[in-house]
Structure 1
Amino acid sequence: MKENIFIPPVIKSREYLLSKIKSQKTHGIPITKTGTTYNLAQQTRWLSNNNFAVGRWDDTMSIFNYSSEPFTGPKLTAAVNSPSSGGVQMITYIPSHMMITSNNDRSLSVWITSSDDWSDLKLETIESYDSSLDVATNGVWFPSLLDNDPSTLVVGHYSGFISIWSVDHHHKKLNFIEKIDLRNPNPVNPFNAHAMYGMCILKEKGPDASVICGSDDGYISIVEVHTGKTVSQTVFNPDAQRGINSISVFRNKLLIANCSVGMNDKNLWYFDIDLETSEISYRDSMNLLIDKNRIQSFNFDVEWGEYSSGLCWFAGTEEGVLWMGKANEKLELIGYESLSESSIGAALAFTNRPGRLAAAIHNIDQFSTGSE
């Protein structure tokens, strides 16, 4: 497996920029560093209105129960390790009581439970695939695309490909269908990286059911899942210095999180999607940044959400800050607050009815958003 897979993107970008600062001085010591283990959260996903999963770079995945008790954080109900000891970069829930996660550069892990709180979570099987696809970095589940069809799993990979699988719910298995190359031949990042870090359902059912993908190489791609046809590919920002870290879709509204480099760059982008033509149109952008002297501002994750006054968005940035805003004609900032540790960006997940937001870095923060 490629060594750089185990370096979180925010760290890789920061180290690259620091290496360019020629005046930086270091004072060496006579020992040799042989590696680093990162316990940062990479992905947070709701499994129900009460339970969510957090996958980390140190190969652990934990299930938490949202706590409604005052001043009490979420409660741990299960904890497991990736069978390959690789970071858990992808978590996808499949109703009911089934979950798919990344394992290594040639397989996925299938987990099952018989309990509502996932306390008896266990590994059911490992599904293998061609190692050229590389490790899974994101995934979404579609119910039956057409009447009487099996449900479908779409997986984004570090290579810039996506893979499509049918789901055998009875036997708790996956069946590989095809792979699709979505790589940008001219990546916007300096690492020649194509990791598919962003993925959302755009249209859920019908012959034109489609997935929208955001890549580290800068491409926004729309793919018809039933046919495997790539119907649209757009570079989100031709002047970008880094790629896409996360996307979130609400109807035809698209939000993109990336890493801004320098004061004139932006790390949150807002687009309209024409659902008939798949054309993507720019609306607005902003730079979520407090310390203006930072050499980069990594927007780790963005999520559409809802609060007591209606539709909103949340973003977690490298300063350990949770941002909240609205998006109508333009992006509007409501405000921000530091999370329980101001160290790096948080992996976010929102669920509605009632509105709840989970934010994971090292610690886990939970929020009630006030929507019902």
Structure 2
Amino acid sequence: MPSRQPVTPFPSWPPYGNIPKAHREGYWFNELVGTFEASMKYLWLALLTSLVLGHSTQPGSSQPLELRPASTEFARAQMVDWIDSETFVVGRWDGSVSVFRTQRAGEWTPVLLQTQATAGGAGVELVVALDERTILYSNGENELALWGRTGKGAFDAPLPIGYDVTYGVANSATQFHYLGDDLVVTGHANGFALVWKRNYQSLTLLRAVDLKSANPIPSPYPLKNIRGLAAWKGDLVLSGSEDGDIVAFSVTTGKERFRQRYSATAQRGINAISEIDGQLLVVNCSVGAADKNLWLYEVTDAGLTLTSSLNLIRDATRPQVFDFDGDLFEAHGKVRFVASTEEGLMWRGVVKAGVLEVDAFATVAPSGGASLDVNDTTGGIVAVAYDVMLFEGGN
């Protein structure tokens, strides 16, 4: 268990309930349970089984035919981001990008407003609202898409933005304003960060920054994905990679300010990062009882100084526990955090004098982690695994 016992289940925010449950027979694609290709093999075998059974059962047989699905929806969410105070966008592994609105009087669940499919039906590994009128999402191995609108109505047809396939699918993004330019940085599966100049609903690629580690962690999953990006200060951005390194780099020169392994004993890579006022939250998978899956650092020009860490786990007999997503946020004058782990749990807490303290938890899925985002205006938390759930950020 974490060093401090969670004491309060999450209240609903407000008590919306959940949207109708999606089909629950899909595979959860991540490093722990396998690859997307493995789930495709499952679907192919299911289709073959269906065909064989269909032809082998004779008319009039006393035994009913056992039906097998020819396909199964990949129902889990990979990414979620607030658009404004009452709408948010969800990207799922079935290739859908969906916009929801929070409940109004007489409604009992978040309301689905609009859905868009990726160009090739690929799972959505990145979705971020650049502003209230512009959504950026991954559209394939070598393509992003900008989904824009002119007012508060429906989003128009997405605009594809191609790039060299060498960089890999987009996994993360951050944006900020620097010296008169609106900049967007995207992190990619092959260890690169791409720096884009934004002009309203268009992007121009400025440069690619190679962030791969020369000495990656000894993980059985030799991945290079840049899972986390956070604008830090000036033209500096922080990146967190599956290879285990956190890098501070300049988006104007591509040069590194520092590079540091998040833990000297790390056995798994980084799944997400979040920064507020020089405090950096790092999310990973813990392996063994002594490891941690949530870390807090003070970040300066000299690098990272560890101030606190937790192993968010309920069943201590598990050999490892993935922490899939995490956010630092401010509420009522306090720095708080929220994180999601593979036991289907969401954990909420507060940072006190640089120490992480859990004060509440919630069950958000039967198993597996959820994608999380905190609304800057309301402090509400959206958690999406199969269902869409809304929670209070805490006092």
- TM-score for both structures, normalised by structure 1: 0.84
Summarize the alignment of residues 93-104 of structure 1 with structure 2, pairs less than 5 Å apart: 93-104=129-140
What is the one-letter code of the residue matched to 2:212? R
Residue in structure 2 matching 1:212, options 215, 238, 247: 238
Q: Which has the larger radius of gyration?
A: 2
Q: How many residue pairs end up in the alignment?
A: 337
Per the alignment, residue 273 of structure 2 pairs with 247
Moved over 6 A (4+): 32-36
Deviations 1:284-342 (A, max 9, x none): 21100001122221111111134457321111111111111122332212131212x32
Residue in structure 2 matching 1:59, options 95, 98, 116: 95
What is the one-letter code of the residue matched to 1:157? H
Per the alignment, residue 77 of structure 2 pairs with 41
**Residue 124 in 1 paired to residue 158 in 2?**
yes
Q: Which runs of 5+ in 1 are unaligned?
A: 1-5, 17-29
CA distance 1:360–1:200, change in 2 (3 Å): same
- Counterpart of 1:197 in 2: which secondary structure? strand
- Counterpart of 2:33 in 1: which secondary structure? helix
**Residue 160 in 1 paired to residue 191 in 2?**
yes
**Residue 202 in 1 paired to residue 236 in 2?**
no
CA distance in 2, matches of 1:221, 1:72: 44
Q: Is the 8 A contact 2:296 2:354 kept in 1?
A: no
CA drift of 1:241 comes to 1.2
CA distance in 2, matches of 1:281, 1:70: 50
Per the alignment, residue 179 of structure 1 pairs with 208
- Counterpart of 1:151 in 2: which secondary structure? strand
Per the alignment, residue 108 of structure 1 pairs with 144
Root-mean-square deviation (CA, aligned residues, Å) is 2.4
**Residue 146 in 1 paired to residue 185 in 2?**
no
CA drift of 1:168 comes to 2.3
CA drift of 1:269 comes to 0.6
What is the one-letter code of the residue matched to 2:223? A
- Counterpart of 2:212 in 1: which secondary structure? coil
Percent sequence identity over aligned pairs:
29
Q: Is the 8 A contact 1:162 1:181 kept in 2?
A: yes
CA distance in 2, matches of 1:358, 1:95: 18
CA distance in 2, matches of 1:36, 1:213: 35
Per chain length, whose mean CA-contact separation is higher, i.e. which structure has more relative contact order (CA < 8 Å, sep 6+)?
A: 2
CA distance 1:246–1:230, change in 2 (3 Å): same
Deviations 1:131-190 (A, max 9, x none): 1001000111222x103xx31111100001001111122xx3211111011011222222
Q: Is the 8 A contact 2:80 2:128 kept in 1?
A: no
- TM-score for both structures, normalised by structure 2: 0.80
CA distance 1:298–1:181, change in 2 (3 Å): same
Residue in structure 1 matching 2:86, options 46, 50, 55: 50
CA distance in 2, matches of 1:329, 1:111: 39
Q: Is the 8 A contact 2:309 2:356 kept in 1?
A: yes
CA distance 1:92–1:125, change in 2 (3 Å): same
